[in-house]
Amino acid sequence: MSEAQTAADRPVYLVDPWCVREPELRLDRLAQSESVFALSNGHLGMRGNLDEGEPHGLPGTYLNSFYEQRPLPQAEVAYGYPESGQTVINVTNGKVIRLLVDDEPFDVRYGRVQAHERVLDMQAGTLTRHVEWTSPSDRTVKITSVRLVSLTQRAIAAICYEVEPVDHAVRVVAQSELVANEAMPNGTKDPRASAILDHPLVSEEHVANGTKVLLLHRTRQSGLRMAAGMSHEIEGPESMAIDTESSEDVGRLTVATRLEPGQKLRIVKFLAYGWSSKRSRPALHDQVVGALAGARQTGWDGLLKEQREYLDDFWCGADVEVDGDAEIQQAVRFGLFHVLQAGARAERRMIPAKGLTGPGYDGHTFWDTETFVLPVLTYTSPGAAADALAWRHMTLPLAVERANQLGLDGATFPWRTIRGHECSGYWPAGTAAFHINADIADAVIRYVDATQDEQFEREVGLEILVETARLWRSLGHHDVGGVFRIDGVTGPDEYSAIVDNNVYTNLMARRNLQAAAETAMRHPDVADRLGVNAEEAASWRDAAAAMVIPYDERLGVHPQSENFTNHARWDFAATKPDQYPLLLNFPYFDLYRKQVVKQADLVLALHLCGEAFTEEQKIRDFDYYEALTVRDSSLSAQTQAVVAAEVGQLELAHDYLGETALMDLHDLNRNTRDGLHIASMAGAWSGLVAGFGGMRADGGRLRFAPRLPGGISRLAFRMRYRGNRLKVSVTADTATYELLEGPGLKLWHHNEEVTLADEPAELPIEPIQQRPAPAQPAGREPAPRRIDPHGRVPRRG
Amino acid sequence: MSEAQTAADRPVYLVDPWCVREPELRLDRLAQSESVFALSNGHLGMRGNLDEGEPHGLPGTYLNSFYEQRPLPQAEVAYGYPESGQTVINVTNGKVIRLLVDDEPFDVRYGRVQAHERVLDMQAGTLTRHVEWTSPSDRTVKITSVRLVSLTQRAIAAICYEVEPVDHAVRVVAQSELVANEAMPNGTKDPRASAILDHPLVSEEHVANGTKVLLLHRTRQSGLRMAAGMSHEIEGPESMAIDTESSEDVGRLTVATRLEPGQKLRIVKFLAYGWSSKRSRPALHDQVVGALAGARQTGWDGLLKEQREYLDDFWCGADVEVDGDAEIQQAVRFGLFHVLQAGARAERRMIPAKGLTGPGYDGHTFWDTETFVLPVLTYTSPGAAADALAWRHMTLPLAVERANQLGLDGATFPWRTIRGHECSGYWPAGTAAFHINADIADAVIRYVDATQDEQFEREVGLEILVETARLWRSLGHHDVGGVFRIDGVTGPDEYSAIVDNNVYTNLMARRNLQAAAETAMRHPDVADRLGVNAEEAASWRDAAAAMVIPYDERLGVHPQSENFTNHARWDFAATKPDQYPLLLNFPYFDLYRKQVVKQADLVLALHLCGEAFTEEQKIRDFDYYEALTVRDSSLSAQTQAVVAAEVGQLELAHDYLGETALMDLHDLNRNTRDGLHIASMAGAWSGLVAGFGGMRADGGRLRFAPRLPGGISRLAFRMRYRGNRLKVSVTADTATYELLEGPGLKLWHHNEEVTLADEPAELPIEPIQQRPAPAQPAGREPAPRRIDPHGRVPRRG
């Protein structure tokens, strides 16, 4: 591995506008690359593990919402704590194709790797690998594999695997496998949890038949059933011996042959997966076998073609072009690709914080999805956004039950979950973070505004708005002075907790209450079915109108929550660089009582509730919180990018954009191994479109306020809005709006109304006055995206 | 057990001024009685289990600070959480004397119990039992046992056991035992903890020799070593067969004989216990054998005599007489007796919340001790108070280490502990309750004021004051307006948490800071050794002077903490009686954000920091918090009694006095089985002396403001103060102050200065104007102590 060590300074991935290319195998970044090269359609996810299974960082194959229960122990139990959690498990691995060359197992840790390249192609939707390997006994083979997880056939993945000798004839044996209950590296520390999660699947059936093998398992505690099947098409010399076998946890097809130079063994492996909490073993068996038959009917080339067509359609309404910063160009497409992969075919399942790229956060979904991911999908792949919200709607009965348990009206959505049950084990940063309910409501409002999807509004949206409005009405109260207060909650910033009148929460709750009242009025029949009467709707409007928004007159800024600006400031000067993230080195009590901000909170309100602030307030508030925000959360930089751009701090915005966009490609937080930060990936889009494009769509008006930083010479983005597909192109002094498809629309350019129809509209951008940049806490400045004299951005991370 | 059931309406204990008498065995109250009849000297504690071991509620023998470690699991781990806790364990049981009567085991569940009486004698310091039992085969015996845990010989307990036949001759076999690792009923739910605690002792040695047996064990995790030994004096007919034996967990002496009517078997069993974290097995062995030899030398009658002398000396400086309310008369002596038992010979070990009477709260000590128990000991048995504070002083290095871990200066004493390590598993109601540090400091201030013990002040007190002052100085900060704030802490009321500027905490911290500065000035040499310079002391004075004390001008009351009075009031009307205690039926988040008070908090400040409030404020504040306080903590009623008396609500004070005084005799909270509420027991004294006696000693002046409720015709109490022993006698219109011993002193009677020397001083008590009584939350009114026409108080509980 000395080669890997000397390579440590070279970039892991090459910068290319449409691909992520790993030019050599970096064993020191194996787990990171498994996340970066993960393929998924939102239903089935496969980490970018090597075909031969080993070495690996973390083996991973996931089925959305297929989980096991685990205990949530507490030193001191209290009312309302969830007793068990849900955790994503590594399901049957169908990626494995092992190879023996003259009896030597192909393993990159032995022999010599002459060449090794992997390419994630974001237009083709494939991961391609080229290897040239010389075995310890000096036989050289070329191996090519192409892998896809189908965006068109939800149950299906496929691998095309080819091996050929380079100079000498070789005997090759290929073993294509299904492996359940893989041994996992470094398990959890909790012995009870690891006992459950180390061997989560119980075999119910295994069959081998021709080139087909199927394994069927169920989980011990959660009682879910899954099946994985494989089927093969094999081309090679005539004298091939093919055999299949199955046992409880292993299915195997073995091909043995002799290859002369010029000859090739080609295996196309079709994989199908299915799971259910309800369907019988035979039904699930048949479902998977049927899916395999469908995939074979389509064939490898057919799957490739469908995949590209699906992606072409996506990119034509979603692509973002960035001139002047090639890293960001690559990163925004990488981000969009993974956001799409996370949501494309989730279809009424949740979108986890890590997508299906790794086991991080137990595979849970959080507010990340509604607040950071759905805005991207709403304007690029709106059907996926609708599906994600329909999943929330499906879980409403659980959320109503939880609210009832907590003594509240309406619904309380879980802070973290897989299937809708609260799985948070620390209530001050879980249950108390009620803002998630307004975040979900806001995603509904945004989706309906962007699509005018009235059926959705009636069948899904209104009920969510009503139940969350009921929550806010019961969570808050009018004090004797008549204002409506929301006390004892936790806002987005997890370095404060259980606070009174968090500005973000109160503003979002206000919007939630108003929207529920307005939407109920638009659909009186549905409202009536939901038990909403005029008095209730009026009480929502009243609460919204009386909502208290604290303001510190003395400092001329909004306190993040009541009293916040009276608290001691964190002693940033005394905090050492290796003490970040702070939560690993300081107790919650100390973080909570001081002015230190983990992630944009008041600044997120500046972005999402901009109408509640004057321009002057935005500038003052942004500057104030810049000095306090340490970005110990990956959710922060994108919001700071958007608001920095809005208040004219364009270079700072560019720096923050870099941080969110390169979070995983540069492994900035050193935890990409556990899965990609899907919200950060979405943030690349937000930083460009909402940041430098100035896109806002609140209040029913689609507005842009484009303005570029010095390092970006041109920005162009496509989006979908109310049946239109449009393209916005921005340079330093001009913005061009172009209708690509659809009936046309009105939009606003820097407060100027524009009616967009057949002709593109080109409008000037006025320069702004430079203000001094605000300071961040010492050592927490974002890495600058300075441009070197040759126009290249220096690599980081 | 039908008898027990029909007896359910009869009082469990008879009311007697100096005894607690159980006139019949109540199997339904077995565990309660084991706590009530527990004997202890603060070092060794024995629950009132029946001699024959079974039936039992909860077997229990405890050695102060002899504990085992147990895991403190957390669903989500964070910085600074303790990883393991300490839990008291049931050590080798030496109480057991089993009896066979003509081969039938004596067991009250079989045969017929003709008579069964137990008497706790608070002047003798013994528990006496008389039984007359007829065996299933119709043989009747009388059994008498007298048990004591010696207050004079710290390692020693003793039992005098007598059996005699009533009419027929019987063969009797008595087995006197030591039993380690007794099986416990209903273990913990946590399988890991129960694995540790079900069989906590590992045998290291066992010896039987003559009538002596010794068992020596160590704990598995905490590595502590203990020894228990027994030795016997046996009197009976000449033809007795005596045998001893030992095995790892059982030591046994067996006496077999035949008793004719008129003959008696008498066994005096001497027990000795010792434990150490450092001493070797042989050293501990010898220590216990030596203690046994000493006890045998004193003899049974000698032990009884010493015990009574010790108690006579205690009562002559501590007794409280109450005329008009016989239950309270009994209860206050019962409380004083148990407070003494908890602290008498603890000698630099902690005083647990349950004393050594049961396993409740894991055997931990809390702020209860310094705030509620030590005031009683300070004025009645000051040496015990000094010892308890010396124990805190011994743990200072751990408290300094903990403060350092939390990023604070000075010392942070643990919220709950056995040996000084933080054992709290829920930081918002543990670590955040920093007031415990001021409570400990206040106990130091009070002890020094009451004793003028300068050596203690120099060797123990000052260092505690200095390190806690340093804590406060670093925990608080001056805001831009110049006031000193203490944010993000939890006050006494556990239905609020992580609040800013809790009035009680800030006032107590202020006193702590001032006292540290003043005491350092008095002992500059010690202060210098502790690194205190003039600048540091000045910074304490500055912080104290600038301490913010929130006040709600609009309502004219003090908010318990900043913003408290803006919060929604708890919906008491909608809360059902069976939903108390609220914490078992509502989530913390809901309790924390509303105006609902578990236990006196602001009202505790009214008592302990009375100088900070005007009389008018006290009245308004008391009334305001009465309407919000649900007394889900046993620590609340006594404080409400004291302050109710101060503000002239004498009948209400009497009601609250009843609640604290009868907590365990009437098992008001239905958990006396787990041990007595030592702080509640202390509260009987406080309610009478600080409440109706109006005793305060802050600011160096001993003040009284006596005033009796209608149901108490006379109150007299004795106390020790600055080398004096005095007696205060109060009737409806007169108070008499009498110096029993000592150099004399100045005191204040209702603001009138009195110099007390040889002659008693008799002073009038002015009547006060009646105000309407404040309301409590619906259903949470204290039980009234109304007097029936015959002058008897109706029994409750």
pLDDT (tens digit per residue) in B552-601: 999 999 999 999 999 999 999 999 999 999 999 999 999 999 999 999 99
Among the candidates A291, A315, A339, a domain finishes at A315
pLDDT of residue B794: 45
Size of interface A-B (CB pairs under 8 A): 153
Domain assignment present for residue B663? The answer is no
Q: Could you tell me if A260 and A383 lie in one domain?
A: no
Of A190, A407, A589, Cβ closest to residue B432: A589
How many Å lie between the alpha carbon of A403 and the closest alpha carbon of chain B? 11
How many Å lie between the alpha carbon of A477 and the closest alpha carbon of chain B? 6
Question: Between β-strands B140-149 and B67-71, what pairing exists: parallel, antiparallel or unpaired?
Answer: unpaired
Domain assignment present for residue A776? The answer is no
What is the average per-residue pLDDT within B592-621? Answer: 98
pLDDT of residue B489: 98
Q: Which residues of B touch A76 (CB under 8 A)?
A: 424-426
Contact B706, B730 (CB under 8 A): yes
CA angle A556, A560, A565 (to 5 degrees): 55
Least CA distance to B568: which residue of chain A? A477
Least CA distance to B495: which residue of chain A? A488
Confidence bin at B1 (pLDDT 50/70/90): very low
3-state secondary structure string across B80-117: CCCCEEEEECCCCECCCEEEEECCEECCCCCCEEEEEE
List the single best residue of B487, B561, B572 to mutate versus A (max A Cβ within 10 A).
B487
DSSP state of A249: S
How many Å lie between the alpha carbon of B498 and the closest alpha carbon of chain A? 8
Q: How far apart are CA B614 and CA A28, in angstroms?
A: 70
What is the average per-residue pLDDT within B350-371? Answer: 96
Contact A706, A696 (CB under 8 A): no
Question: What percentage of chain B reaches a pLDDT higher than 70?
Answer: 96
Left (φ > 0), alpha (ψ -120 to 50) or beta: where does B501 sit? left
Residue A78 pLDDT exceeds 70: yes
Q: How far apart are CA A518 and CA B338, in angstroms?
A: 66
Q: Could you tell me if A653 and A747 lie in one domain?
A: yes
Q: Could you tell me if A58 and A197 lie in one domain?
A: yes
Of B74, B79, B568, Cβ closest to residue A585: B79
Q: How far apart are CA A498 and CA A487, in angstroms?
A: 8
pLDDT of residue B76: 87
CB-CB under 8 Å, A583 with B78: yes
> Minimal CA–CA distance to A722: which of A751, A749, A748, A742?
A742
pLDDT of residue B796: 34
Q: How far apart are CA B409 and CA B467, in angstroms?
A: 8
Inter-CA distances, A259 with A110, A141, A256, Å: 21, 10, 10
Q: Could you tell me if A359 and A453 lie in one domain?
A: yes
How many Å lie between the alpha carbon of A58 and the closest alpha carbon of chain B? 22
Residue that is written with structure tokens 């108490």 in the block: B712
pLDDT (tens digit per residue) in B202-235: 999 999 999 999 999 999 999 999 999 999 999 9
Q: How far apart are CA B189 and CA B212, in angstroms?
A: 38
How many Å lie between the alpha carbon of A595 and the closest alpha carbon of chain B? 11
pLDDT of residue A197: 77
Q: Could you tell me if A120 and A214 lie in one domain?
A: yes
Q: How far apart are CA B783 and CA B769, in angstroms?
A: 24
Domain assignment present for residue B638? The answer is no
Domain count, chain A: 2
Residue A194 pLDDT exceeds 80: no
Backbone angles phi, psi at A79, to 5 degrees: -55, 135
CA angle A88, A91, A96 (to 5 degrees): 140
Q: How far apart are CA B465 and CA B785, in angstroms?
A: 41
Confidence bin at A793 (pLDDT 50/70/90): very low
Q: Could you tell me if A369 and A465 lie in one domain?
A: yes
Contact B213, B205 (CB under 8 A): no
Q: Which burial class, exposed, middle or buried, applies to A240 when counting CB atoms under 10 A from its CB (0-12, 13-18, 19+)?
A: middle
Residue B797 pLDDT exceeds 50: no
Domain assignment present for residue A790? The answer is no
pLDDT of residue A76: 87
pLDDT (tens digit per residue) in A403-434: 999 999 999 999 999 999 999 999 999 999 99
pLDDT (tens digit per residue) in A348-406: 999 999 999 999 999 999 999 999 999 999 999 999 999 999 999 999 999 999 999 99
pLDDT (tens digit per residue) in B508-556: 999 999 999 999 999 999 999 999 999 999 999 999 999 999 999 999 9
Q: Which residues of B touch A568 (CB under 8 A)?
A: 477, 479, 485, 487
Beta strands in A713-785 (DSSP E): 714-721, 724-731, 734-741, 745-749, 752-756, 761-764
> Minimal CA–CA distance to B175: which of B84, B247, B261, B106?
B106
pLDDT of residue B786: 67
Whether the upstream peptide bond of residue A581 has omega within 30° of 0, thus cis, is yes
Pull the structure tokens for residue B677. Answer: 């509420």
Tell me the three state secondary structure of residue A217.
strand
Q: Which residues of B touch A489 (CB under 8 A)?
A: 589, 593
pLDDT of residue B193: 54
Q: How far apart are CA B726 and CA A641, in angstroms?
A: 74
Q: Could you tell me if A695 and A742 lie in one domain?
A: yes
pLDDT (tens digit per residue) in B649-686: 999 999 999 999 999 999 999 999 999 999 999 999 99
pLDDT (tens digit per residue) in B35-58: 999 999 999 999 999 999 999 999
Least CA distance to A490: which residue of chain B? B589
Q: Could you tell me if A223 and A187 lie in one domain?
A: yes
pLDDT of residue A189: 52
* Rg, chain B, Cα only: 27
CA dihedral over A30, A31, A33, A39, signed as positive or negative: positive
Among the candidates A315, A338, A368, a domain finishes at A315
Of A85, A485, A590, Cβ closest to residue B407: A590
pLDDT (tens digit per residue) in A633-659: 999 999 999 999 999 999 999 999 999
Question: Which one of B185-199, B346-360, B775-789 scores highest in mean pLDDT?
Answer: B346-360
Half-sphere exposure of B412 (CA within 13 A, CB side): 24
Domain assignment present for residue A681? The answer is yes
**Buried b or exposed e, range A306-333, using 16+ CB within 10 angstroms:** bbbebbeebbebbbbbbebbebbbbbbb
Q: Which residues of B touch A585 (CB under 8 A)?
A: 79
CA B484 and chain centroid, separation:
35
Least CA distance to B480: which residue of chain A? A566
Least CA distance to B496: which residue of chain A? A488
Question: Between β-strands B170-179 and B250-259, what pairing exists: parallel, antiparallel or unpaired?
Answer: antiparallel
Q: How far apart are CA B707 and CA B649, in angstroms?
A: 10
Domain assignment present for residue A773? The answer is no
Q: What is the pTM of this model?
A: 0.94
Residues of B annotated as catalytic are 494
Q: Could you tell me if A167 and A108 lie in one domain?
A: yes
List the single best residue of A569, A588, A598 to mutate versus B (max B Cβ within 10 A).
A588
List the single best residue of B490, B552, B589 to mutate versus A (max A Cβ within 10 A).
B589
CA dihedral over A99, A105, A109, A111, signed as positive or negative: negative
Residue A792 pLDDT exceeds 80: no
Least CA distance to B85: which residue of chain A? A75
Q: How far apart are CA B86 and CA B68, in angstroms?
A: 6
Q: Which domain holds residue A278?
A: 2-315
Catalytic one of A34, A68, A177, A494: A494
Counted residue by residue, chain A has a size of: 797
Residue A456 pLDDT exceeds 60: yes
CB-CB under 8 Å, B567 with A487: yes
Give chain B's mean pLDDT.
95
Contact A130, A19 (CB under 8 A): no
Left (φ > 0), alpha (ψ -120 to 50) or beta: where does B362 sit? left
Of A567, A589, A594, Cβ closest to residue B427: A589
Q: Which burial class, exposed, middle or buried, applies to A603 when counting CB atoms under 10 A from its CB (0-12, 13-18, 19+)?
A: buried
Q: Which burial class, exposed, middle or buried, applies to B755 when counting CB atoms under 10 A from its CB (0-12, 13-18, 19+)?
A: exposed
Q: Which residues of B touch A74 (CB under 8 A)?
A: 73-75, 425-426
> Minimal CA–CA distance to A322: which of A729, A32, A702, A695?
A729
Is A83 an annotated catalytic residue? no
CA A339 and chain centroid, separation:
5
Name every residue whose Cβ is closer than 8 Å to that of residue A345 and which is 6 or more positions away in sequence. A41, A42, A43, A151, A154
Q: Which residues of B touch A425 (CB under 8 A)?
A: 74-76
Domain assignment present for residue A276? The answer is yes
Of B555, B566, B583, Cβ closest to residue A485: B566
Residue B188 pLDDT exceeds 80: no
How many Å lie between the alpha carbon of A668 and the closest alpha carbon of chain B? 22
Q: Which residues of A touch B195 (CB under 8 A)?
A: none
Confidence bin at B774 (pLDDT 50/70/90): very high
Q: Could you tell me if A258 and A367 lie in one domain?
A: no
CB-CB under 8 Å, B566 with A479: yes
Domain assignment present for residue B97? The answer is yes
Name every residue whose Cβ is closer than 8 Å to that of residue B616 and which is 6 or more positions away in sequence. none
Confidence bin at B467 (pLDDT 50/70/90): very high
β-bridge partners, B612: none
3-state secondary structure string across A136-176: CCCCEEEEEEEEEECCCCCCEEEEEEEEEECCCCEEEEEEE
Backbone angles phi, psi at A131, to 5 degrees: -130, 140
Q: Which residues of A touch B588 (CB under 8 A)?
A: 78-80, 427
CB-CB under 8 Å, B488 with A566: no
pLDDT (tens digit per residue) in A224-238: 999 999 999 999 999
Residue that is written with structure tokens 């008396």 in the block: B645
Inter-CA distances, B50 with A434, A556, B86, B410, B683, Å: 54, 72, 28, 48, 29
Name every residue whose Cβ is closer than 8 Å to that of residue A294 and which is 6 or more positions away in sequence. A153, A156
Which domain CATH number covers A596? 1.50.10.10
Q: Could you tell me if A299 and A356 lie in one domain?
A: no
Q: Which residues of B touch A485 (CB under 8 A)?
A: 566-568
CA dihedral over B450, B452, B454, B455, signed as positive or negative: negative
pLDDT of residue A83: 84
Residue that is written with structure tokens 């061009």 in the block: A736
pLDDT of residue B787: 55
Inter-CA distances, A449 with A378, A611, A696, B131, Å: 10, 16, 11, 84
Which domain CATH number covers A46? 2.70.98.40
> Minimal CA–CA distance to A148: which of A140, A136, A139, A160?
A160
Residue A186 pLDDT exceeds 90: no
What is the average per-residue pLDDT within B434-458? Answer: 98
